[in-house]
């Protein structure tokens, strides 16, 4: 099955998250932000989506961390996954903004 779906919003899907592979409610997430020209959508749980957007800027997601595999292989995401797998199944969590992420406006 292809995890990417062109221009499809899938709020409330019961599909495994493309990032953590947990069977939790997912929704369509643009791997590269839509405002930066992204078109590919992957099913993503709330916890992973929140972590991704609190960790990387839209420009970083467009230029450097622009695939599911690159996000999964990043050491910060690996650390998050180790923590997430220890939590109660079905729970979702909010993430604080990364201190190293700049407060510059999106370009």
Encode pLDDT of 48-94 as tens digits: 999 998 899 888 988 998 899 999 999 999 999 999 988 877 666 66
Tokens in use for 39? Answer: 């078109």
Q: Is 13 left (phi over 0), alpha (psi -120 to 50) or beta?
A: beta
What's residue 24's pLDDT? 86
- CA 36 – CA 106 distance, rounded (Å): 10
Distance CA 91, CA 27 (A): 15
pTM over 0.75? The answer is no
Closest CA to 49 of 5, 17, 1: 17
């Amino acid at each position: 099955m292809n995890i990417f779906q062109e221009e499809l919003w899938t709020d409330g899907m019961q599909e495994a998250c493309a990032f953590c592979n947990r069977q939790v409610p997912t929704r369509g997430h643009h791997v590269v932000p839509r405002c930066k020209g992204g078109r590919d959508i992957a099913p993503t749980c709330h916890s992973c989506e929140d972590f991704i957007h609190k960790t990387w800027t839209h420009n970083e997601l467009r230029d450097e961390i622009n695939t599911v595999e690159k996000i999964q292989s990043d050491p910060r995401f690996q650390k998050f996954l180790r923590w997430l797998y220890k939590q109660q199944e079905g729970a979702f969590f909010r993430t604080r903004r990364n201190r190293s992420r700049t407060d510059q406006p999106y370009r």
